[in-house]
Structure 1
Amino acid sequence: MFVGFDYGSANCAVGIMEQGQVRLLPLSKDSNYLVSTLYALDRDLICEAVLQQLSQDKKAQYSKLRAAQLSRARHARRELDLDPDEQAVFVGEQAVQAYLDMPEEGFYVRSPKSFLGATGLRVDQVALFEDIVTMMMLHIKQLADGLLNGAQITHAVIGRPVNFQGIGGEESNRQAEDILRLAASRAGFEDVAFLFEPLAAGMDFEASLNSDKTVLVVDVGGGTTDCSVVNMGPAHIDKVDRSEDFLGHSGQRIGGNDLDIALSMKAFMHHLGLGSMMVNGLPVPSKPFWNAVAVNDISAQREFATLSSSNMIKELIKDAERADLLNRLLKVQRDQLGYRIVRSAESAKIALSEQDEISMALDYICPALHAEVSTQMFIDAIAQPVAQIQALMAQAIDEAGQLPDIIYVTGGTAKSPAIYNKIAAIYPEIEIVVGDHFGSVTAGLTRWSQRVFN
């Protein structure tokens, strides 16, 4: 069976074709989407979990490649006093819940796709991301296969951003595709192909067009924003090769995660001491606050988790005017609560789509602590990343050399009125169509899979 597979920065989804229509498979209890997260009681236990689920023909080679990690995994299982068959790795909502239950004890990664194109990764770091993605794909494929009444998924078109990383260029893109391709093979896919996510989102919209149009597709996802100017319509939809229709594109690692981080800094971190003063009259350094919530920056997260970071915060507390606030930052560092703070910001962002103000509980940091968050605060916080999204739209149009007839906006992040209004304001004379905020990419990937593999 051929499917579209959106291995997204925020969520994952799988689509199949039924009687000419796309159907998304329900990967979660109450949703077609699986949250892009993984939690392990110890990071070396990830490769152990992968090995257990690999097909027999792949186990020997994988065991040889991961001999050192598997040895450490056996030691970790003994140290954690885990039974041989006790679950130690969780994916999706199970991962989120495990992290919330034990934030200081395990290894938690949100939006692993955001890291796949990172420059300067060591061999062991690339191997870790291969295992993370493989584990997630194994989980998703098993879920999907179980929903198909005995059928098996064999081929998939996987969505990819125009650029996985703002820097690194094609080398970063090749690294990310190589990780995804290897993980898919280990997970049991016989063959995979890749398609730019904004083009995939536009293909679903194209199916509704009655005449040919030039369309700017703006896909604001969880980890990346991609923009593509594409010729679409009845004269184009049946082509297998769409390269001539693809007029211009741009992409950057800027998305919903960045907006959540920016809101965390603006709305929450002053409750932890950001902006307060030292007794010598100098402001408290901002870097540890940024490192605490920079969940899509592996270097920042690694630095914040170190003993030296803990010691530095303790030294700041000694000479701070508001030591009580910085003690909250120390708790965040000790208990690894950065992801939870960003998750609170994401919840606030969603709530602000329906109301102008929201009170967010931060009692996991300090009893009875609440932060008041307003729409205007959100708009102010995201001014810089939104300006980057607007610049990407202009870049794609400049590359195409023409204005589009329609702007098609999709991606979960674009659901926020604060984001949509900024996108609409840049070209007010052009018609804007808002697509399925979450399902359009998967639908396009699914349609394309029928053409690529048939």
Structure 2
Amino acid sequence: MIVGFDYGSSNCAMGIMANHDVKLVNLESNRTYLPSTLYAQHNALVIDYVAKQLQQRSVSEAEQYCLERANTLRSVPAIRRDLGLTQAESGLAIGSAAITEYIDFPEEGYFVKSPKSFFGAVGLKAQQIAFFEDIATAMIMQIKHRAEQQLGYVLTHTVIGRPVNFQAIGGEQSNQQATAILTTAAKRAGFCEVDFLFEPLAAGIDYETSLTEDKKVLVVDIGGGTSDCSFVQMGPSYRGKSIRDQDFLSHSGKRIGGNDLDIALSYHTLMPLCGLGSTLRSGLPMPNQPFWQACKINDLHLQTDFYSNVNARSLEAMLRDVSEPDKLARLVSVQQQKLGHQIVRQGELGKIALSETEHFEANLSFIERALSQKISVNELAESIDDSLLQICTLAKQAIRDANTQPDVIYLTGGSAQSPLLKAKLQQALGNIPMLNGDNFGSVTAGLTKWAEQIYR
């Protein structure tokens, strides 16, 4: 059977066609959106989980996979004994359960948020690519299984959403690397046919259903990991076509999204509590790099550097040379206890709250008892201004490449509801009519409609 699959940077969702309409499938606790997170008590357990699931479905495929991962799999029995896991326990969780496990045991396991953000990273070694395949496979296996349990039938064909560009650098090579990882993962998870569609185009296809006249539409999709713009001719004259290449006038995209807004807000407003902006005893300013590394949770290389033993020793040595050691001691705790994700989560909650209120109280008691920080909407605006300007540049590029003006701007994605974004776009693009779609469901709905169209 056919499903549209939004394997997003922030959330995952699946949709099916039912009675000529899109129905989103419940993926956890009667919710249709599952956070794009994975937690394993040990990273080898990700590979162990995939191997066991393959063994239940395809002996030959399982044998080939186990041969490729033989070195890691040999260590699994000892790891499981050390962790006290029973045969029925995988030691792996996804979605909200993964977040809960990470908050309860931040130092003891392997946690990844928004894994898709890493798939196009430049300079990945073959071993790293293989592990990202394993992460994606484990997540898609669980999501697919949950959907099939609810629907009562096997899912065989899917269209997966993808950003225009997975990375700001790397170009088409990064895009091919990322789509190859997702294709391998989806097929290992049991899909027979896998296709891809640009996420902003998927959102546009969903919007097109409601149009009664033809329009030139600039779709601006602010996802968790990327921002993408697609300039599309759509409406009754175009609807229902299975080949739409001539209708897509231009695309632009960059690896900057909602996660980057969370990171920017966390860095500028929360890191000063950990020593950002303070001085060394010599009077020289503290280097910014460790604070940026702590917050940059969507950059594999910076996170590796921040949590390395070399950096741990560097921060400990720096404690003796700073004018405010109590503040830097908090950063040491963040490094030792792997608390970066929790800090950025407070930034995310602040970004959401400040769309409707003037102030937000960030709770940082996981670093130090009773530690908190009040953040204002003005501080949010200052923190994310550069990111919003980059999004506006993408929109202007799409319009310039299309060589025509849009009739309407269609906004979608988790951060698209921000009044700051709308104001910045209006300032950059003029008084073009602007409307919001389903900020979380438009992409999934469009993927589902497209899947139905190309596979039927």
The aligned counterpart of 1:428 is 430
The answer to whether 1:89 aligns with 2:92 is yes
Aligned residues: 453
The answer to whether 1:130 aligns with 2:133 is yes
* DSSP 3-state at the match of 2:73: helix
The aligned counterpart of 2:333 is 331
Correspondence for 1:416 among 415, 418, 426? 418
* DSSP 3-state at the match of 2:169: coil
The aligned counterpart of 1:443 is 445
The aligned counterpart of 1:265 is 267
The aligned counterpart of 2:13 is 13
The aligned counterpart of 1:24 is 24
Q: Which residue identity lines up with residue 380 of structure 1 in the other structure?
A: E
The aligned counterpart of 1:382 is 384
The aligned counterpart of 1:166 is 168
The aligned counterpart of 2:50 is 50
Deviates more, 1:69-78 or 1:59-68: 69-78
After superposition, where does 1:211-250 map in structure 2 within 5 Å? 211-250=213-252
The answer to whether 1:79 aligns with 2:93 is no
The answer to whether 1:107 aligns with 2:102 is no
Correspondence for 2:62 among 59, 63, 71? 59
TM-superposed CA distance for 1:417, in Å, is 1.9
**Partner Cα distance (1:389, 1:304) in 2:** 28
**Partner Cα distance (2:198, 2:344) in 1:** 28
Q: Is the 8 A contact 2:45 2:90 kept in 1?
A: no
Q: Is the 8 A contact 1:284 1:316 kept in 2?
A: no
Q: Is the 8 A contact 2:22 2:448 kept in 1?
A: yes
**Partner Cα distance (1:335, 1:250) in 2:** 39
TM-superposed CA distance for 1:316, in Å, is 1.2
Q: Is the 8 A contact 2:221 2:413 kept in 1?
A: yes
Q: Which residue identity lines up with residue 37 of structure 2 in the other structure?
A: T
TM-superposed CA distance for 1:413, in Å, is 1.1
* DSSP 3-state at the match of 1:121: coil
The aligned counterpart of 2:366 is 364
After superposition, where does 1:135-150 map in structure 2 within 5 Å? 135-148=138-151, 150=152
TM-superposed CA distance for 1:80, in Å, is 2.6
TM-superposed CA distance for 1:83, in Å, is 2.9
**Partner Cα distance (1:73, 1:384) in 2:** 45
TM-superposed CA distance for 1:75, in Å, is 3.0
Q: Which residue identity lines up with residue 82 of structure 2 in the other structure?
A: E
After superposition, where does 1:269-348 map in structure 2 within 5 Å? 269-348=271-350
TM-superposed CA distance for 1:76, in Å, is 2.1
**Partner Cα distance (1:76, 1:170) in 2:** 39
Q: Is the 8 A contact 2:396 2:429 kept in 1?
A: no
The answer to whether 1:177 aligns with 2:215 is no
**Partner Cα distance (1:412, 1:50) in 2:** 30
**Partner Cα distance (1:426, 1:20) in 2:** 39
The answer to whether 1:38 aligns with 2:51 is no
**Partner Cα distance (1:201, 1:423) in 2:** 19
Runs of 5+ in structure 2 lacking a partner? none
- Post-superposition CA distance 1:80-119 (Å, at most 9, x none): 3333332311111111000000001111100000011111
TM-superposed CA distance for 1:365, in Å, is 0.4
* DSSP 3-state at the match of 1:413: coil
The aligned counterpart of 2:409 is 407
Runs of 4+ in 1 over 3 A off after TM superposition: none
**Partner Cα distance (1:26, 1:426) in 2:** 39
The aligned counterpart of 2:256 is 254
Q: Which residue identity lines up with residue 45 of structure 1 in the other structure?
A: L
The answer to whether 1:121 aligns with 2:124 is yes
**Partner Cα distance (2:85, 2:159) in 1:** 38
* Identity over aligned pairs, percent: 49
Q: Is the 8 A contact 2:203 2:446 kept in 1?
A: yes
**Partner Cα distance (1:429, 1:258) in 2:** 27
TM-superposed CA distance for 1:30, in Å, is 4.3
TM-score by length of 2: 0.98
**Partner Cα distance (2:344, 2:442) in 1:** 26
**Partner Cα distance (1:338, 1:163) in 2:** 26
Runs of 5+ in structure 1 lacking a partner? none
**Partner Cα distance (2:259, 2:85) in 1:** 34
